[in-house]
Amino acid sequence: MPEQVNVLAHRSAMPKITRELTRRGFLVGAGAAGLATLLAACTPGGSGLPNPAASGGKLEGSLSMYSWGDYDSPDVLKAYQKKFGQKLTVSSFGSNEEMVAKLVAARGTSGYDIVVPTGSFIAPMAEHKLLQKLDHALIPNLAHMDPEFLGRSWDPHNDYSICKAWGTTGFIYDTTKIHRELKTWSDFVDAAQKEASGSTSVLDDPAELTGIYFWGHGIDWNTTNKKELDDAETYLLKQLAPHVATFDSNPGGSGVPQSTQALFQIWNGDARQGILNSKQPEKWKWVLGSPATELWMDNWALAANAPHPEAAHAFLNFCLTPENQLSNVDYIGYHTGAKDIEKSAQDAQMPLLDMVFFTPEQLGTMHDGKLTSAQDRLVEIYDKMKAVAGA
């Protein structure tokens, strides 16, 4: 990877910060509880503990964040600590369910200030008092956000959340092993059966795996229709699972750079990171999932009973400055929802920006995921796929 790309920064360059997992390992597999089950233990009304409110006063001495792993520029985190004299601790979760389960179990005493849920989790978390409202007066840099990425359906007034990053799903393939052009999810499955049989990696996520079928066949990704779910199971178990070598939600970390497989289902930012870290970046080709795929958005949010609300608001405001937004785009490879960020990235001559920013036509093929009554069924299909693949 070229030296100017910040993703080269080693984790050891982040003193006082705990790093654990990687960006988006959405593990809701065997035995994992659905969100409804988790929240059943959390009666609306919360823990009964007071929510310390920020007033713009003196910052507390420390800040704790619970987020997807390796999801912030080390330069931004270090700069925050230096500017405000803060001790920042970052702990990582592997799934939204894991994060929710920990907050529910803690009953308002988790000690976390900032959490980073995916959009569809915001409303139920707020309803069950796992989040507290943000004070926009203490986050003036919210003005640097593009309005297009605010006011989403799960939080129309951004009372509880601010876009941290958003992305999509596609795949990349090794052109030295797959010599034809792949364009669609059907092509992905066909190549998995042929040139990449036994050398295919898919995301370790029920929604993403079943999405391959729904997106490729023009079916609503959020379907709860029994026949459509049954058809997805039959297709995926027979056509794809026998050819899968690995279920990996961070192939950009080592799988792509080390060329462990020929074909990877992958999130766009992770694909960019993997290609830039590869010794032969030119051999990899990125394909946005077609004819349809997903659009996910992760969000900054304030945990209920956050012990350091002043520092939390100061941190969010700091991260939303244009220069820090740009640094995060470069590091994680995802659009942060900041105003004019694409032009800033172009001016900075960042590489592979076609994997970060998308055309209106491409955006039109991306669809939000929802939490539905079919969640357990999706997990069941996921479990069966792993059993067939021998994972």
Q: Is residue 267 part of a domain?
A: yes
Digit-coded pLDDT (tens) for 172-188: 999 999 999 999 999 99
Residue 156 lies in a domain: yes
Query: Is 57 in a helix, a strand, or coil?
Result: coil
pLDDT of residue 179: 98
pLDDT of res. 253: 86
pLDDT of residue 215: 98
Look at residue 89 and tell me if it is in a domain.
yes
Percent of the chain with pLDDT over 70: 87
- Residue 226 and residue 242 in one domain: yes
Residue 244 lies in a domain: yes
How confident is the model at residue 28, as a pLDDT?
37
Q: Which domain holds residue 209?
A: 168-294+363-389
138 and 268: one domain?
no
Q: Name residues whose C-beta falls within 8 Å of residue 156's C-beta, 6 or more positions apart in sequence.
A: none
Q: Are residues 162 and 172 in the same domain?
A: no
Report the pLDDT value the prediction gives residue 55, as an integer from 0 to 100: 80
Question: Domain check: are 115 and 181 in the same one?
Answer: no
Q: Is residue 180 included in any domain, yes or no?
A: yes
Tokens for 271? 């694909």
Query: What pLDDT is stored for residue 38 in this prediction?
Result: 61
Contacts 24+ apart (CB under 8 A), 41-44: 41/104, 41/105, 42/104, 42/107, 42/128, 42/129, 42/130, 43/128, 44/127, 44/128, 44/129
The verdict on 259 and 177 lying in the same domain is yes
* 330 in the same domain as 289: no
Specify if 232 maps to a domain.
yes
- Residue 136 within any structural domain of the chain: yes
Q: Mark whether 128 and 13 lie in a shared domain.
A: yes
One domain for residues 112 and 18: yes
Note whether 120 and 370 are within 8 A (CB): yes
What's the confidence (pLDDT) of residue 345?
97
| Residues 302 and 67: beta-carbon distance below 8 Å | no
Shared domain check, 106 and 39:
yes
Asked whether residue 1 is assigned to any structural domain, the reply reads no
Q: Provide the CATH number for the domain around residue 91.
A: 3.40.190.10
Measured distance CA(367)–CA(50) in Å, rounded: 38
* Claim to verify: residue 77 and residue 180 sit in the same structural domain: no
CA distances (Å), 277 to each of 12, 51, 257, 259, 331, in order? 18, 43, 6, 11, 12
Q: Give residues with Cβ within 8 angstroms of 295, minimum separation 6.
A: 166, 167, 168, 363, 366, 367, 368
> Do 60 and 12 share a domain, yes or no?
yes
pTM, whole model, 2 decimals? 0.83
Residue 16's pLDDT is 30
What are residue 63's phi and psi, to 5 degrees?
Answer: -150, 140
What are the residues whose beta carbons fall under 8 Å from the beta carbon of 157, sequence distance 6 or more?
151
Residue type, 41: A
Positions of the chain with pLDDT lower than 70, given as ranges: 1-50, 391
> Rounded distance, CA 113 to CA 164, Å?
15
Domain count, the chain: 2
Does residue 18 sit in the same domain as residue 157? yes
